[in-house]
Amino acid sequence: MRQNENGLWVIDEESIAEARDLALENGGGVVGCLPRKTQMGELQWEHAGKLCCAPMAAEYLTIPPESEWTKIVDDMAGRWPADIADTHGLPDMDQGSNPLCWLFSLADTMRTERVCEGLPYIELAPESGIGASNGRNTGWYCDSALAYVARHGLSAREYVPRDYDLKSKNWKEGWDVNAKLHVPLEVWDGGAKSMTGELLAAMQLRKSAYAWADQWSHAFKLDKYVREGNKIYPSGPNSWGPNQRFILKMRVSGFFVVRSMTSSLK
């Protein structure tokens, strides 16, 4: 790892394995995050008292040329992260009347990544990440939500038995310890070069995306592409209850790829 001109530790291509080993040795993953993009085009993270920068997804993905996109969508039929999630019986998220799409879609992305990695399906409680907004039932920023969850994790649903209960005093004892079993270990910031190309490349690796659209003021998980004629569109399950899958025909404003999760079996 190296230090940049601002004294931040930067995780570059040569040192990503070293940085991940450091995270594992310290009992968790990446912890804490500053504004999602710096002037250097990096995502800043804090770990073990140091500030680090995770490289853009484009530096790690083999982005297919646009001429191949339609064929990729056809060839991926039955193999999308969405298909893997369906195979494991992941239920649809339902945020109810709460403005918590930023938490429910993140929890959905994290539990999907677990099953795509071959880990046991665990229903995560989005409510356990409400500390990101200081306990307020409000809309929030995806990067800040991810920063909080990377530090604290999300607990299993059994520790927050009542849906939409945002008061930690009501949760089962040990929820915070359990939450640290479910944290992102590696996260890529997407969209630096090609929003569609990077999303397709990530999904070919069985990675879904924690995404948002500014025009919609909404966060969501994207886990497959669909084709309509010669056009392709990303698709995902909305967090508004059962059978709310949508096809996104507006621009994706940004996304994060949760590349790996802690490997706990609990």
- pLDDT higher than 60, residue 31: no
For 52, phi then psi, to 5°, come to -125, 165
Most confident of 25-39, 71-85, 235-249: 71-85
Q: Is the pLDDT of residue 186 over 50?
A: yes
**In this model, does residue 46 exceed pLDDT 60?**
no
CA distances for 112 relative to 24, 74, 88, 179, angstroms: 21, 22, 9, 16
Structure tokens at 129: 């990440």
Q: Do the beta carbons of residue 9 and residue 22 sit within 8 Å?
A: no
Q: Where are the domains of the chain?
A: 1-55, 62-261
What would the mean pLDDT of 247-262 be, rounded to a whole number?
A: 87
User: How many angstroms separate the CA atoms of 162 and 127, rounded?
Assistant: 10
- Read off the pLDDT of residues 150-161 as tens digits, 9 standing for 90 and up: 889 999 999 999
Whether pLDDT at 9 is above 80: no
pTM: 0.80
With the CA atoms of 164, 169, 170 and 172 taken in that order, what torsion angle do they form, in degrees rounded to the nearest 10?
A: 110
Tens-place pLDDT, residues 116-136: 999 999 999 999 999 999 999
**Pairing status of strand 9-10 against strand 50-54:** parallel
In tens, the pLDDT along 195-213 reads: 999 999 999 999 999 999 9
Identify the CATH number of the domain defined by range 62-261. 3.90.70.10
Sheet holding 50-54, edge to edge: 2-3, 9-10, 50-54, 43-47, 31-33
Return d(Cα 1, Cα 16) in angstroms, integer. 8
